[in-house]
Amino acid sequence: MIRVVLPQHLSALAGTGREIELDIDGPATQRLVLDTLESAYPMLRGTVRDPATRRRRPFIRFFAGNQDLSHEPPDAPLPEAVAAGTEPFHVVGAMAGG
């Protein structure tokens, strides 16, 4: 089980709380977590990743613990604590503009 924390706008769009739990089918990577997220909540497709390129949108960041995972390869393993469900995977809207 992976815990994912969404920014307020996306949790409102998905009709969920800020933290959701996902059961993933395979090793925990950004790609698999986000694929599973979009499968469970199809209204989030295109809001975290570009729908065509599947690349992270420019003003989105991924954090876990004290690490910025935004620039990690999408198929790199996530930290053990995230894979074990003891730390959440944070999807963050960058602080910019208003």
Partner 1 sequence: MTAVRVLVGTQKGGFVLAADGGRTDWTVDGPYFGGWEIYHMAASPADPDRLYASQSTGWFGQVVQRSDDGGRSWHPVGNDLRYRGDPGTHLWYDGTPHPWEFTRIWHLEPSLTDPDTLFAGTEDAGLFVSTDGAATWTELPGLRTHHSAGSWQPGAGGLCVHTVLVDPSNPEHLHVAISAAGVFRSDDGGQTWVAANRGLRSEGIPDPDAETGHCVHRIARHPARPDVLFMQKHWDVMRSEDRGESWQEISGDLPSDFGFPIAVHAHEPDTVYVVPITSDSQHYPPDGRLRVYRTRVGGEEWEPLTRGLPQHDCYVNVLRNAMAVDTLDPCGIYFGTTGGQVYASSDAGDTWNPIVRDLPRVLSVEVQALS
Site residues for partner 1 per CB under 8 A: 7-10, 13, 43, 45-48, 50-52, 57, 59-60, 93-94, 96-97
Beta bridge partners of 19: 5
Q: 17 vs 51, which CB is nearer to partner 1?
A: 51
Smallest separation, CB 43 to partner 1 (Å): 4
Count CA atoms within 13 Å of residue 15 on its CB side.
Answer: 4
Smallest separation, CB 59 to partner 1 (Å): 4
d(CA 56, CA 34): 10
